[in-house]
């Protein structure tokens, strides 16, 4: 007879996971293939059973309309001061810097990373229109790529 890997409760002979009933759910949710199979089953149930889906919607609406539950939710939110968590964290300098870099990477995805500073210099300091600066940067990148291709012996495209 074996014991649970987490809490040393004795397990039955037919146990395949090595975990007791108390800990098997955490084990299952840590397995990506099991989690995906569960998600697929839930999606299938929602897609094929409108009565079940309607029941979920009705229960959710009833919970949202219940004044007692709403009062508890509001009180819990106020006592926890949860609005501060996100706003304080988002004001930290390192977080703002990361957000700025991510935003720039998204907005300037067309621009090669090593030429982004040049593009920003053209647009901000030299006051080139964005379209013209983009054309210049793309031309510069093409020249560099042609030079690089020649250096590795590739045929000029």
pLDDT at 85: 80
Residue ending a domain, among 12, 31, 48, is: 48
CA 154 centroid distance within chain: 39
In a domain, 101, yes or no: no
Burial class, 153, CB count within 10 angstroms (exposed 0-12 / middle 13-18 / buried 19+)? exposed
In a domain, 156, yes or no: yes
Q: Against a cut of 0.85, is the pTM above it? A: no
CA distance 138 to 156: 17
pLDDT at 98: 93
Domain count, the chain: 2
Q: pLDDT tens across 41-89, in order?
A: 999 999 999 999 999 999 999 999 999 999 999 999 999 988 888 777 7
In a domain, 77, yes or no: no
Domain boundaries, position 29: 1-48
Q: pLDDT tens across 123-155, in order?
A: 999 999 999 999 999 999 999 999 999 999 876
Residue pair 6/19 in contact (Cβ under 8 Å)? The answer is yes
Tokens representing residue 37 in the block: 């199979």
CA distance 118 to 99: 21
């Amino acid at each position: 007879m074996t014991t649970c890997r987490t809490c040393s409760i004795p397990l039955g002979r037919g146990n395949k996971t090595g975990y007791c009933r108390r800990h098997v759910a955490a084990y299952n949710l840590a397995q990506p293939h099991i989690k995906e199979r569960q998600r697929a089953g839930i999606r299938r149930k929602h897609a094929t059973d409108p009565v079940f889906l309607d029941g979920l919607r009705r229960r959710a609406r009833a919970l949202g309309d219940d004044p007692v539950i709403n009062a508890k939710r509001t009180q819990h939110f106020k006592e926890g001061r949860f609005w501060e968590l996100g706003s304080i964290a988002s004001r930290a300098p390192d977080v703002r810097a990361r957000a700025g870099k991510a935003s720039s990477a998204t907005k300037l995805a067309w621009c090669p990373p090593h030429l982004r500073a040049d593009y920003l210099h053209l647009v901000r300091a030299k006051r080139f229109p964005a379209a013209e600066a983009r054309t210049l940067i793309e031309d510069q990148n093409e020249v560099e790529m042609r030079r690089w291709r020649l250096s590795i012996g590739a045929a000029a495209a």
